[in-house]
Chains A and B, each alone.
Chain A
Amino acid sequence: MATGNLGLTYGGQEKTPSLSGETEFAAEAGAPGGLFHADYKRHDDLKQMLDSSKDSLKLEAMKRIIGMVAKGRDASDLFPAVVKNVVSKNIEVKKLVYVYLVRYAEEQQDLALLSISTFQRALKDPNQLIRASALRVLSSIRVPVIVPIMMLAIRDSVSDMSPYVRKTAAHAIPKLYDLDPEQKDELVMVIERLLSDQTTLVVGSAVMAFEQVCPERTDLIHKNFRKLCAVLVDIEEWGQVIIIGMLTRYARTQFTDPNINGTIHSEKDKPFYEESEEDEAKEKPTESLVLDPDHRLLLRNTKPLLQSRNSSVVMAVAQLYHHLAPREDVAVVTRALIRLLRSHREVQTVVLNSVASMSVNRKDMFEPFLKNFFVRSTDATQIKLLKLEILTNLANESNITFILREFQTYISSQDRDLVAATIQAIGRCAAGIKEVTDTCLSGLIALLSNSDELVVAESVVVIKKLLQTHQGSHGDIVGQMARLVNRITVPQARAAILWLVGEHCEKKRVSKMAPDVLRFMARTFANEQDVVKLQILNLAAKLCLSNPKQTKVLCQYVFSLAKYDQNYDIRDRTRFLRHLVFPSTEHALLAKYAKKIFLASKPAPVIESVFKDRDEFQLGSLSHYLNSRVVGYMDLPGFPAVAPDSNVRNVESPRPAIPVTSVRGNSAVASSKGKKKETFYSESSSENEEVKDESGSSDSKSDSSSEIDSDSAESDSEESSEEDPDDSVNISQQNIVRLSPSLSPSPPSQRLSRTLVIQSSSESEYSSNSSDSDSIDSDKAVKTVKTSRIPPTIPKSNLDLLLDLDVSDSITTPVMASVPGIPLGTLASTPITDCSIQPASAAYISTRPMELVSSISSGCGLQILYRYTRSINLYSASMVTIELTLVNTGNEDLTEVKITNKIMPVGISMHEFTTLASLPVGATRLVTIGIDFGDSTQNVSCDLVASGKPIKINFRPSVGELIRPVTCTEGVFINEQGKLKGMNEHNFSITNTSELEDVKSISTKIFRTTNMASINSSDPNTLRFAGQTLTSKSLVLVTILVGTNPKLTVCCEKMIIGSMLLAELKEALKN
């Protein structure tokens, strides 16, 4: 450091600005205090530089000023000169002026106001960075006068085009709130708006503002809950922490306790094995307790974040699971927490702290990782102690020998604190686990002869506690310890010995020694510490009562010594004891019971973890770490007994929702929102009564079938939503089916282009939907909406199909799944030979899967169901789409489920599903395959391999599924039919007329058997159906005459198809 003299000489040189600010600081360091003159001069110099017209000089001056600010020196007298430069064109000067302004504006409010107009102007700048930084500085200068201006600026900025500016606005909200809490109501409105923002950049900051300003307004979260869950992975790390923290509190108010059945048992700290037994018994009921789907959604969507590189995110998820998850699910966080133990020392400390707290009640979670908590000699003391605490918490009958052996090595450690803590830990283990109490006790007694006094002292204290908890005669031990009094100087240990001697003074061996101990202590009384003095008094009183002959005089001597002690506690105690032990005659009432009072059996101290009572604080919070309430800590609310209405989280408008790749999942999710579902299905019911019934029944089925169904479906949907950060939509009505883009590697900007959207809604709804997708920010998707809209010439099709598919570089089977019971959209791009014949949607879709392979015959518990989705296969239009439901009913996880060994007749091709990596026990997966049967009903067989084991499967389609529905006008129909006469026409006269009375039921039967569309007919007695074979695109026309002479006619260019179809229809009509 430069001396004062040096500073002076520098002061003289400072007319010439030095290029690097560094020399300046060296001088300056010596300057404070006496060198007022030099100081003044330097600032004068800086002012000159700031006033100059050259940007470079200004920049130099600002850099030096910032250097001063950074060092914490006062640069406030330069304020006027600096503030002038706020208008500087040079971006760096400007930035530094901003930094300076934020630092000193509070102190020089009047002058700061001069700069306000500049910021107001900058808020309108076309450059988003300038707008944002102006807002940042404006909101950071803590001058109460400008509150209205700030409010205005914030309100403008939340509707800014740039998400970055909106983010800055979110940051500005708590600043304004700190400055003027009266603005709260207005700010809450702004926050509400920001919370519904669609960009992930903004959401994190919006939640942060929410937490600062109005954390009690859970009603604002309802509508955004699902969106937040869905986009969580895409938000930056810091935002994730804040959102998870907020969602934890939110979930505590909205969902019921998932452990409601198990809590009574789990809260108590029972030995591990008992607990697990009980857990097993409890497992069933807990599992059957159905979590709210939103609760589950939250848990599922936070789980991937355990793999974050950011330790605070991992911790946030861990605490969320700790506070919200069903007991058996919490274990998923263990590994991640263990991983953090390799991180920085500070991270380790905090994590171990939380683990210590968790391990009190959740032994089973950490027990497998016991070794990770073994102490290393290089650990910091704090970490060592925490690890020891955890090891002690985890100790049980099965691992105690292991732990004790480990403890043994710690006792010979060089770290005194660790040694002391280890002895305490041994004591706790001994008290907690009956089997090892004696071993521990003898081990501790062995330590009494250790050469290290600290070890001995600590052992004494621990033995004292142990003897209290452990019933039985301990005369020998106490006697041995009494001998140590001479040697041990640690006050706590001396006090402990004295107490023990007093307590056991009537025991055989002790009774002889006790008076000697007292005599010895009386001699050193004056030099003892207070704790020891108190125990000497206690001992004296007890001995005097049990053995007055030998000790009465000694006792009186001690009491009179204590009477003049400096410490008033000791004087008080003496007075109190004297009256009990040596009563003056008139007060003898209590003294009669003196012996009972002093030598009563005392309750044993409970030796337990210091982390036991930390439950009241939220895990991972500062309050939890310090174990005291910190300013601004919000208590975690308890679970409500009855969950509030979950419908509040439904989003009103049927927006394009989280994409789903499966049908079953769709209905399962939809079924959880009862009311919505009604309207959803009623749309289709007007078209087909029968279909509605079908879907209804299947619905209830999927309801009753386990949660797993929706699980798999929802996890699918997560997949796609994660890939697409902009897609911040909610799970509500799933009218949209989307390809999962995750399998095809593509830059994220292109991801959206892979999305396939099918909307099954009426024309009128279309507009609302498209506006929604507008807001998704996906220009591309919107574009495709416009281009691929089906021309309105098709009267039948009330569906719009939005498709932008790039099959060529996609690895996956691009198959769109369909919604059961709902007419499906058609593919606008399908090649159509005749423009008057248009592809139509399937009128009926079976929702009931049929069994292909039973779980028994597969040999590995895999059950395979199949179903024709009657949707257009996206891989090839000539393929029949078959949906396979794979259910693992066995008791082993299946891995690598795939199709191999396809045996195909010529002209038949198949597109299999992508290999499933695993199929856990009880899980259900939906996969879709496409088969081009080449307009034949030949058998297609292949092997489905699961866990390396092949299962033979055969597909033999019914001819009705090889047809795709088409529509045309009646005229075209008759015209086409006229072309297909003779060999191509197959007739059948229906004899049993009674069945043909109901036209509607006939249609239904036809639709069930074959995938055709009905054609409007002018003649009420004639039913017409049209279709087209998948491969050759030849027309299939069916006519049914009802009335006096019922007749069924099938016309098809392919005679075999025609005749087979006729046979099938005949069969169908008969039933």
Chain B
Amino acid sequence: MIHSLFVINHSGDVFMEKHWRSIIPRTVMDYFFEAQRQVVKDNKGHEDVPCVIATPHHYLISIYRNSLYFVAVCMSEVPPLFVIEFLHTVVDILEKYFSECNESNIKEHYVVVYELLDEVLDNGYPLATEPNILQELIRPPNIIGNLINTVTGKSNVSSVLPSGQLSNVPWRKADVKYTNNEAYFDIIEEVDAIIDKTGKQNCSTVFAEIAGKIECCVRLSGTPDLTLSFINPRLMDDVSFHPCVRLKRWENERILSFVPPDGSFCLMTYHVGCQSAVAIPIYIRHNFFLPKENSQSQTGKIEITVGPRQTMGRVVENLQLSIPMPKFILNCTVTVNQGRATFDPVTKILLWDVGKIDPTKLPNMRGQIHIQSGALILQSTPSVNVQFTLTQIAISGLKVHRLDMFGENYKPFKGVKYLTKAGNFQIRM
């Protein structure tokens, strides 16, 4: 399965390697660097490095996260998703440990990382990837912990097998105790949409979908058994669950019944498909034009107005528009009546930070686009990537009915929060 792991930073240094079987020399990474160079040559981003590279004797499967490449080396047939998913799990674990998985954190905690890597894989096969178990085996580093260890001579490494490893609920630690028992549920929905222009000013929705997830933060003592029910569970088209959710119960009754892991986790994700009507909270009126190919003019025009639409009575907040301009554009000079607009001449991105939409005075941007002199003008139209949030509402209309707890005697504090964000929200100009 997975023979070795190499971690590569932005500048192309292998700063960490781990081998679970025989040592594979670092030179195998040359193939990876070559692929990377090729991508840079083609003027593409880091995302375009192929995630599977076949070399004569090895197969390099990589992921790119937090501007680090994690490259797994395999030597025989293995489902590529297995490796990719595993690498992401490793990064998730490291994020849980160090709050952020970046180069300096890994370098600072070489030993902990190494111990973790040793625990998650055995001979290339996943052994323990459940964060709760790992955190019992190897304690996450923190200042107080270090202090205690220095004073008492205890170590970060557990000498007994974590109870979760053998239990039916491996995701939950035994003997959890809190003075304040609380359970918070954040229902976060992201609107994915592609909106196209048809005709002059009208925007038509080509595709719209809602992807939701329920992020929980559960701090409850003992082994509580929770059930969460929705007022309108049938909205959800396709769901995926944390392993703690009892699938049968969902299938039969549309109720989430689970023994939660301790701490923060993602309980479920769901989709509200494109079959049902998705409310699009904003609209954009735009006017974008580049000078004709053979004209002498070196300037084009851009004008954008944003307005609210189907917001369910909430205010659109944190509105941000980013427009990747074609490469031949030298600069944009725009004036806005709200927020701040900047143009990055290197990445060629025009970023407009709007903020809240005030329906009485619609945000508006207008200005000129300057073309590089002598550059070939291609009539390509950029698309606008939109970010926004709507608080206290799930745009699909999903609502939690009730949350019950069984198995423990105390009364927990329960909280549910709704939030709608723009996911992959694109408007073609």
Spell out A's residues near B (CB within 8 Å). Answer: 20-22, 25, 55-56, 59, 63, 66-67, 69-72, 90-92, 95-96, 99, 103, 106, 127-130, 132, 136, 139-140, 142, 162-164, 167-168, 171-172, 174-175, 178, 201, 205, 208, 233-234, 236-238, 241, 245, 304, 307-312, 314-316, 335-336, 338-339, 342, 344-347, 349-351, 371-372, 374, 376-378, 380-382, 406, 409, 412-414, 451-452, 620-623, 625-626, 628, 630-634, 718-719, 722-723, 725-726, 742-743, 745-749, 917
Contact = CB atoms under 8 A, between A and B. Distances in A.
A237 B293 contact: no
B259 A127 contact: no
Interface string B343-387: 000000000000000000000000000000000111111110100
Contact of A413 (B107, B249, B380): B380
Among A70, A312, A338, chain B packs the most CB atoms within 10 A around the CB of A70
A63 B111 contact: yes
A376 B192 CA distance: 10
A233 B326 CA distance: 50
B313 interface: no
Contacts of B47: 345, 380
Given A71-B15, A372-B207, A381-B44, A917 B252 contact: yes
A99 B385 contact: no
B48 interface: yes
B327 A374 contact: no
Given A241-B79, A630-B76, A70 B407 contact: no
B341 interface: no
Contact of A66 (B26, B114, B406): B114
Contacts of A233: 247
B82 A746 contact: no
5 contacts: A128-B161, A162-B161, A311-B85, A412-B381, A626-B52
Contacts of B21: 142, 178
Among B51, B76, B113, B170, chain A packs the most CB atoms within 10 A around the CB of B51
A312 B240 CA distance: 13
Among A59, A237, A745, chain B packs the most CB atoms within 10 A around the CB of A745
Contacts of A748: 168-169, 259
A308 B240 contact: yes
B48 A622 contact: no
B237 interface: yes
Contact of B45 (A95, A310, A344, A380): A380
A639 B369 CA distance: 63
B162 to A, nearest CB: 9
B125 interface: yes
Given A237-B243, A630-B76, A345 B157 contact: no
Contact of B248 (A309, A335, A723): A723
B77 A622 contact: yes
B243 A309 contact: yes
A238 B125 contact: yes
A99 B108 contact: no
Nearest to B239: A307
A718 B248 contact: yes
Given A90-B155, A347-B84, A382-B50, A309 B241 contact: yes
A304 B88 CA distance: 23
Nearest to B385: A378
Interface stretch (B266-274, B295-303, B331-339, B390-398): B266-274
Contact of B378 (A162, A344, A451, A622): A451
B75 A631 contact: yes
Contact of B168 (A142, A164, A726): A726
A747 B407 contact: yes
Nearest to A233: B247
Contact of B269 (A70, A309, A412): A309
B23 interface: yes
Given A335-B237, A342-B211, A129 B161 contact: yes
Given A67-B111, A99-B118, A140 B64 contact: no
Interface string B21-39: 1110010000000000000
A174 B123 contact: yes
Contacts of A238: 82, 86, 125-126, 129
Interface residues of B, number: 116
B314 interface: no
Nearest to A716: B248
Nearest to A172: B123
Interface of B: 14-19, 21-23, 26, 44-45, 47-48, 50-52, 54, 59, 62-65, 74-82, 84-86, 88, 107-108, 110-111, 113-115, 118, 122-123, 125-127, 129-130, 153, 155-161, 165-170, 192, 194, 196, 206-207, 209, 211, 223, 225, 227, 237-243, 246-249, 251-254, 257, 259, 266, 269, 271, 274, 293, 324, 326-327, 376-383, 385, 404, 406-407, 423-424, 426, 428
Given A56-B153, A238-B129, 19 more contacts: A22-B107, A99-B118, A128-B161, A129-B161, A171-B122, A178-B21, A236-B126, A307-B240, A308-B240, A308-B243, A351-B81, A374-B206, A376-B426, A377-B383, A378-B424, A382-B48, A719-B252, A743-B249, A748-B259
Nearest to A55: B153
A350 B84 contact: yes
A714 B388 CA distance: 48
A95 B115 contact: yes
A748 B86 CA distance: 28
Contacts of B237: 335
Contacts of B59: 622, 626, 630
B17 A70 contact: yes
A208 B64 CA distance: 28
Given A71-B16, A312-B79, A745-B257, A414 B324 contact: yes
B156 A92 contact: yes
Contacts of B251: 304
A14 B139 CA distance: 29
A99 B114 contact: yes
A634 B241 contact: no
A357 to B, nearest CB: 13
Contact of B127 (A56, A171, A308, A351): A171
A622 B78 contact: yes
A483 B222 CA distance: 81
A722 B247 contact: yes
Contacts of B209: 372
B52 A622 contact: yes
B78 A92 contact: no
A719 to B, nearest CB: 5
Given A63-B111, A106-B22, A378-B424, A622 B383 contact: no
A743 B153 CA distance: 49
Contacts of B327: 414
Contact of A722 (B22, B160, B246): B246
Given A335-B237, A382-B48, A725 B79 contact: no
A339 B212 CA distance: 11
A628 B252 CA distance: 44
A722 B241 CA distance: 15
Nearest to A915: B253
Contact of A746 (B107, B248, B407): B407
A204 to B, nearest CB: 9
Contacts of B123: 139-140, 171-172, 174-175
Contacts of B130: 236
A344 B242 contact: no
Given A66-B114, A310-B85, A631-B75, A414 B380 contact: yes
B16 A304 contact: no
Contacts of B424: 376, 378
Contacts of B243: 237, 308-309
B207 A312 contact: no
A631 B111 CA distance: 34
Contacts of B65: 344
Contacts of B160: 127, 129
Given A91-B155, A338-B238, A726-B168, A745 B225 contact: yes
A142 B81 contact: no
